[in-house]
Amino acid sequence: MKLGDLSVGYLYSLQAVLRGLGHDPAPLFQRFRISDELLATPGARISIPRFMRLGNAAIGLSQRADIGLLMGSQSQASHLGLPGVTAQCAPDLNRAFETLVHFERLTSMNYRGHSSFESPALRFYSISPYNAFNLFVVDSALASRAQLARQLSGGQARLREVHIEFPAPAYAERYEALFNCPVLFEQAHNQLLWEPASLTQPLLHNAPSTYAQLRALCEAQLHEQTRHRRLRERVEEILSPRLHSQLPGITEVARQLGLPSWTLRRRLQIEDGTRFQDIIDETRRDLALSYIRDTELALGEVAFLLGFSSPAAFQRAFKRWAGQAPGQFRREQRVVRG
């Protein structure tokens, strides 16, 4: 299991920011194996860990820790692919945000959680605890959604507040300048809270027939993307966001899948020769390998994310899975990546 991936369209704004700061993005992108051909390939994606490492390297190159906020200011609806263009034709921001969230899988997939929209709150999920590798991810996601709303509404959309999960960084004063509203840190969610009246005003490019046609295309792509997913993958997607809290039992997972629990148990055995508990154990193992290999999270943070009672318990489990301690595994993987 991977942590997830996202469309190369998310890199267009990073290119624009680096050029605007006087840097050629080409050498940096080449270092991370991102070619012009990849950027022009329909449906191309990169892994979330590679995106985080690229962003961290861009911060080092530009010496701008607020690069995620700058990326948001350069974001365009087209960077979000077909869902972004569809949202551009929506009747109002309520429908635009609902469209982006409903079809998020077409441009990004995070196995630990997804965005949500419950008017007036547009929320973005990110891997926590936070460090230098993922602050910019939250910054760019929230800033790009705020920028998109302003573009679609002709500058009329108004934010009431912005909430951010992590503590205020050194560049905290730049948030309110960008969002033009109070920004509160160390909150329960990463979210944009909109003035309700902003969400119901007609959008500049409101086009009902085009919107309906584009939504149909999105639905077709989403159906095609998901219809080949195995039952096991769908179970993993339900379990992964809750590994660090109260895990759902097989009855609850089956209910979410619209199946009786006995049917879920039987189909898992027939399709994959596996049991429900095996999926929990193997999901923890696969995510542990990915966290240690692909992120800079501390061992204690990984232990928390995966629901272990202590770092020591996690280290014992990891050694059983990988045949070596997590610290040694991480060092060896760094050598392999160069």
Tell me the sheet residues that pair with 112. Answer: none
Please tell me whether residues 263 and 303 are part of one structural domain. Answer: yes
Strand partners, 109: 5
Residue 303 lies in a domain: yes
Q: How far apart are CA 319 and CA 146, in angstroms?
A: 44
CA distance 254 to 268: 11
Structural domain that includes position 179 = 66-222
Domains: count for the chain: 2
Global confidence as pTM? 0.80
DSSP β-bridge partners for residue 5: 47, 109
pLDDT in the model for residue 287 = 84
Of the residues 178, 194, 222, the one at which a domain ends: 222
> 189 and 81, same structural domain?
yes
CA distances from 220 to 136, 216, 258 (A): 32, 6, 21
pLDDT in tens, 243-284: 877 788 999 999 999 999 999 999 999 888 889 999 888 888
- Mean pLDDT over the full length of the chain: 90
Final residue of a domain: which of 197, 222, 247?
A: 222
| Tokens standing for residue 46 | 């990169």
Half-sphere exposure of 133 (CA within 13 A, CB side): 16
DSSP one-letter string for 285-332: HHHHHHHHHH----HHHHHHHTT-SSHHHHHHHHHHHHSS-HHHHHHH
Q: Name the domain boundary from 203, 222, 241.
A: 222
Clarify whether residues 251 and 137 are in a common domain: no
Please check whether residues 211 and 303 belong to one and the same domain.
no
Render pLDDT for 164-177 as a digit per residue (tens, 0 to 9): 999 999 999 999 99
User: Which three-class secondary structure string do you get for 114-169?
Assistant: CCEEECCEEEECCCCCCCCCCHHHHHHHHHHHHHHHHHHHCCCCCEEEEECCCCCC
Same domain, 237 and 176: no
| pLDDT for 334 beyond 80 | no
What is the Cα–Cα distance from 12 to 134, expressed in whole angstroms?
Answer: 18
Asked, for residue 6, whether it belongs to a domain, the answer is no
| pLDDT tens-digit readout, 118-149 | 999 999 987 666 777 788 999 999 999 999 99
Percent of the chain with pLDDT over 70: 97
